[in-house]
């Protein structure tokens, strides 16, 4: 439509007014600045100043998350906060705590104010924060608060290292100023861990992207081998999805006495590894497996994710039935990545996968809890195991890995060696992360598998993912010219079905297996074993029962809650089996093609 001059003048004036209004709105946009200090690191306290400018309401609620994304447990980080106060200039503002993790700051006359608090940080794990005289480590959700209505606000962070510390390592992008960084939202700030101290720094490039290693501790490790092998793993991981979402990546590695695993982040990961893990070939391959697992999470979970896992609700549990894909599937791909990178032969990979089958099939809880249920109940079961957990549940890591292997072989078979689960991951990345900008539902995951395979697997998901039936191992492995051999424990061999501790000179029951001899005979966790058929128990009861006849009975004297009791134990045979994936003789050309697609040999 053409406008006459009068209309043009009116529109221009309106545009000028709107421009002024837009500028005023931009000027009124609230802003956030954080300062992180550790003036006395030996006391294990971080000190945080949060500057909130342009907050025009009479009060502002600020929150501390209750959990760390990637670790599905409510950890109540607010329990470590102390000395909370708020100031407008030199004036102290009224504050009150209104929920377990929410503080209300009243500032009716001030738009700009500062919140100050301390955080006690003395749990060195990948899920929490820590500071001592040697170094500091920050996992964002356990240190930084955020305005309840400002989770999407960008912010700036200035880190003030303790005296004598010269390094700050984080995947946050730098801003103007020394050790100053910026984040696009609280989600990015919380998802960018920080290592502070005098850590060693190494670099390498993978798929054209700069990667940094920040190594704390003093492990005996070949530094050239470290960067070379990690680079190979990262390069191979990029081949799975075939999309590079990175412009930088950071590995924070804590080499400590006893490692605690890893935790993924958007542009980084933290790995906690025993400092002696690098000394053996088995330890080295285990380390590379951890690298592959956490690195592959930058696709699977951080970008390819169930719809429940982002944007995050930091106040409560975020439920999904898909952790068997997000975690178990990542474990499946991480072991494939190590094999594809040439660190494992196909037979060595099959031996490792056999161990996974053994863990799943010899866990009684596998017949009680499905992979989907295990995922959903992670918040109350996986991170809170007890002495009966093996009888009631299954790990979504272990079950998800073997589901991934079976499903992958089925997809390869259905497509005559043309497609595999890599293609499913590529489709999910393109369709949901890039195109729709969201996570996928359970049904959408099944639809993605169907799209790639050319047929639906509804019955498979019903029976083996949402049900507890034994996976069709023989069928799936048979596609690749493999078979699963099963060796039951000898029917003449007695199995107590209990784990015993010999601590402090006492034989004490730690766990009891469902339907075993100890279970049937009424042996309880915590019982102290005194005598077996009138003879003092001084060794593991499992050893003392060696050679006893299956079907016989043993008289056991125990101390329970300070009282002596006699139990009659029926001596039953073990119900466990040993599973091993083996090659069939004379596989067909079609089977060999499936195996080559599944486990390619480097250089072929």
pLDDT tens digits, residue range 43-76? 999 999 999 999 999 999 999 999 999 999 999 9
Whether 11 has a pLDDT exceeding 50, the answer reads no
* 477 and 509 co-located in one domain: no
Query: What is the DSSP track for 57-75?
Result: SSEEEEE--SSBTTB-S--
pTM for the model stands at: 0.93
Pick the last residue of a domain from 265, 298, 331.
Answer: 298
* 540 and 428 co-located in one domain: no
Structural domain contains residue 424? yes
Whether 490 has a pLDDT exceeding 80, the answer reads no
* 71 and 179 co-located in one domain: yes
Structural domain contains residue 47? yes
Structural domain contains residue 112? yes
Give the Cα separation of 314 and 337 in Å (integer): 32
Do residues 217 and 275 touch, judged by C-beta distance below 8 A? yes
Give the pLDDT of residue 28: 67
Structural domain contains residue 264? yes
* 379 and 515 co-located in one domain: no
Whether 570 has a pLDDT exceeding 70, the answer reads yes
Do residues 599 and 518 touch, judged by C-beta distance below 8 A? no
Whether 19 has a pLDDT exceeding 80, the answer reads no
Could you tell me the CATH number of the domain that includes residue 529? Answer: 2.30.42.10
Return the higher-pLDDT residue of 491 and 518: 518
* 163 and 311 co-located in one domain: no
Give the pLDDT of residue 488: 86
Structural domain contains residue 438? yes
* 292 and 394 co-located in one domain: no
| Structural domain for 216, as ranges | 204-298
Return the higher-pLDDT residue of 18 and 339: 339
Q: Which two tokens stand for residue 511?
A: 């766990």
Region 106-120: mean pLDDT is 97
Structural domain contains residue 56? yes
* 193 and 270 co-located in one domain: no
Give the pLDDT of residue 546: 87
Instruction: Name the domain count of the chain.
Output: 4
Whether 27 has a pLDDT exceeding 90, the answer reads no
- In this structure, what DSSP letter does residue 205 have? E
Give the pLDDT of residue 603: 57
* 457 and 324 co-located in one domain: yes
* 325 and 388 co-located in one domain: yes
Give the pLDDT of residue 29: 85
Number of H helices, E strands in the chain: 17, 29
Give percent above pLDDT 70 in the chain: 95
Give the Cα separation of 418 and 438 in Å (integer): 28
| Three-state DSSP state, 180 | strand
Give the pLDDT of residue 574: 87
Structural domain contains residue 480? yes
Give the pLDDT of residue 5: 38
CA-based diameter of the chain, in Å?
111
* 406 and 480 co-located in one domain: yes
Region 300-313: mean pLDDT is 96
| Three-state DSSP state, 499 | strand
Region 170-175: mean pLDDT is 98
Could you tell me the CATH number of the domain that includes residue 418? Answer: 1.10.390.10
Region 530-541: mean pLDDT is 93
Q: What is the pLDDT of residues 191-245, one digit of tens each?
A: 999 999 999 999 999 999 999 999 999 898 999 999 999 999 999 999 999 999 9
Whether 331 has a pLDDT exceeding 90, the answer reads yes
pLDDT-wise least confident of 285-294, 371-380, 534-543 = 534-543
* 352 and 235 co-located in one domain: no
Structural domain contains residue 118? yes
Give the Cα separation of 65 and 77 in Å (integer): 7
Closest CA to 382 of 72, 66, 70, 65: 72
Region 297-309: mean pLDDT is 97
Whether 572 has a pLDDT exceeding 80, the answer reads yes
Give percent above pLDDT 90 in the chain: 90
Region 385-410: mean pLDDT is 97
Pick the last residue of a domain from 248, 271, 298.
Answer: 298
Residue whose structure tokens are 């001030």: 110
Whether 604 has a pLDDT exceeding 80, the answer reads no
* 127 and 84 co-located in one domain: yes
Whether 477 has a pLDDT exceeding 80, the answer reads yes
Pick the last residue of a domain from 282, 298, 314.
Answer: 298
């Amino acid at each position: 439509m053409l406008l006459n001059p009068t209309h043009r003048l009116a529109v221009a004036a309106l545009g000028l007014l709107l421009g002024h209004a837009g500028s005023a709105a931009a000027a009124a946009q609230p802003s956030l600045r954080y300062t992180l200090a550790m003036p006395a690191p030996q006391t294990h306290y971080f000190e945080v100043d949060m500057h909130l400018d342009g907050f025009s309401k009479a009060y502002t609620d600020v929150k501390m998350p209750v959990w760390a994304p990637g670790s599905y447990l409510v950890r109540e980080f607010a329990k470590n906060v102390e000395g909370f106060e708020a100031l407008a200039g030199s004036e102290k503002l009224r504050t009150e705590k209104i929920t377990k993790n929410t503080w209300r700051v009243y500032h009716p006359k001030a738009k700009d104010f500062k919140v100050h608090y301390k955080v006690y940080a003395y749990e060195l794990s990948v899920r929490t924060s820590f500071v001592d005289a040697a170094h500091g480590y920050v996992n964002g959700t356990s240190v930084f608060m955020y305005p309840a209505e400002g989770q999407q606000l960008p912010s700036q962070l200035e880190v003030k290292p303790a005296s004598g510390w010269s390094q700050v390592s984080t995947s946050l992008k730098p801003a103007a100023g020394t050790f100053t960084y910026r984040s696009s939202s609280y989600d990015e700030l919380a998802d960018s861990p920080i290592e502070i101290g005098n850590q060693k720094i190494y670099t390498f490039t993978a798929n054209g992207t700069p990667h940094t290693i920040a190594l704390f501790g003093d492990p005996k490790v070949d530094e050239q081998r470290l960067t070379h092998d990690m680079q190979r793993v990262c390069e191979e991981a990029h081949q799975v999805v075939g999309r590079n979402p990175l412009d930088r990546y950071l590995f924070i590695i804590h080499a400590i006495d006893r490692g605690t695993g890893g935790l993924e982040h958007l542009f980084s990961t933290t790995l906690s590894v025993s400092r002696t893990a690098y000394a053996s070939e088995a330890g080295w391959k285990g380390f590379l497996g951890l690298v592959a697992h956490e690195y592959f999470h930058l696709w699977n979970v951080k970008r390819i994710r169930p719809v429940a896992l982002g944007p995050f609700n930091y106040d409560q549990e975020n439920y999904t039935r898909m952790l068997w894909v997000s975690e178990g599937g990542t474990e499946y791909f991480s072991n494939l990545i190590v094999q594809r990178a040439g660190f494992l032969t196909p037979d060595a990979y099959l031996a490792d996968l056999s161990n996974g089958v053994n863990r799943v099939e010899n866990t009684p809880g596998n017949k009680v809890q499905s992979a989907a249920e295990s995922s959903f109940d992670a918040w109350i079961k996986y991170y809170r195991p007890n002495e009966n957990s093996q009888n009631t549940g299954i790990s979504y890591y272990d079950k998800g890995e073997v589901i991934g292997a079976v499903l992958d072989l089925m997809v390869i078979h259905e497509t005559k060696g043309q497609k595999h689960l890599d293609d499913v991951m590529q489709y999910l990345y393109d369709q949901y992360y890039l195109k729709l900008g969201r996570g996928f539902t359970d049904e959408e995951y099944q639809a993605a598998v169907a799209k790639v395979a050319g047929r639906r697997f509804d019955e498979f998901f019903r029976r083996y993912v949402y049900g507890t039936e034994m996976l069709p191992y023989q069928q799936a492995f048979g596609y690749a010219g493999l078979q699963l051999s099963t060796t039951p424990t000898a029917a003449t061999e007695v199995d107590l079905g209990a784990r015993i501790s010999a601590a402090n000179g006492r034989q004490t029951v730690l766990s009891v297996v469902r339907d075993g001899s100890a279970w049937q005979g009424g042996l309880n966790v915590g019982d102290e074993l005194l005598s077996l058929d009138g003879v003092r128990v001084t060794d593991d009861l499992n050893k003392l029962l060696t050679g006893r006849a299956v079907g016989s009975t043993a008289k056991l004297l125990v101390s329970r809650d300070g009282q002596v009791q006699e139990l009659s134990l029926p001596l039953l045979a073990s119900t466990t089996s040993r599973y091993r994936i083996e090659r069939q003789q004379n596989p067909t050309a079609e089977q060999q093609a499936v195996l080559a697609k599944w486990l390619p040999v480097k250089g072929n």
